[in-house]
Amino acid sequence: MTSALPSVLDLAPVVPVVVIEDASDAVPLARALVAGGLPAIEVTLRTPAALDAVRAIAAEVPDAVVGAGTVISPAGVADAVGAGARFLVSPGWTESLLDAMRSSGVPFLPGVSTTSEVVALLERGVREMKFFPAEAAGGVPYLKSLSGPLPQARFCPTGGISPSSAPTYLSLPNVGCVGGTWMLPADALAARDWARVESLAREAAQLRAR
């Protein structure tokens, strides 16, 4: 994994996981998140607008570190990097997807939910991973249990995490950051209430291990 970008896990305690339906919302949304202290933004490749959103943020919000999430194929890797994504996140991984991410030139977080998947990635020299779906896959107790036998693995748990549970995740030695959506409530996005998004982002940026 070679890139001038520092580890994605160390950019901020929370990585917003963003689903953008209208590419015109991408820039003001990203500016609000950055202003709130969350520079790493994962735009999920779940909508037709996603790549245009990545492109716009990369071009117009220089303080943002925009990445692509829900990357599930080598073609998706190429499309995301071509649009300007500075990191990649997948919900799971296969050999071909891992090869493509490793060859992309940008940091990546392949998704895992089992000990065997973690060991398989460690065997391939990958130490930073997404733990997904975090709450459904065992949450804090599961990750805590992994830290003993596999201390070299570091995680960004995502899936079902809330402002109240995030500090407990962040207190674990093998968790660098968490992914979440709570700073992006649907009603705020629908109203394009970027001030509210910024305020919620600021609260999230202040979450630390307690």
Write down the catalytic residue from 117, 130, 135, 144.
130
Question: How many CB atoms are closer than 10 A to CB 127?
Answer: 16
Helix (H) or strand (E) holding 143: helix 139-147
Q: For this structure, is 203 an active site residue?
A: no
**HSE on the CB side for 202, CA within 13 Å?**
10
Q: How many whole angstroms separate alpha carbon 37 and alpha carbon 25?
A: 19
By C-alpha distance, which of 24, 103, 34 is closest to 65? 34
Q: How many whole angstroms separate alpha carbon 87 and alpha carbon 77?
A: 10
Q: Which DSSP letter does residue 10 get? A: G
Do residues 69 and 45 lie in contact, with contact meaning Cβ atoms separated by under 8 Å? yes
DSSP per residue over 21-83, as a string? S-GGGHHHHHHHHHHTT--EEEEETTSTTHHHHHHHHHHH-TT-EEEEES--SHHHHHHHHHH
Write down the catalytic residue from 21, 42, 123, 203.
42
Q: For this structure, is 42 an active site residue?
A: yes
Q: Report which residue type is found at 22.
A: D
| Tokens 């493509």 belong to residue | 100
The catalytic residues are 42, 130
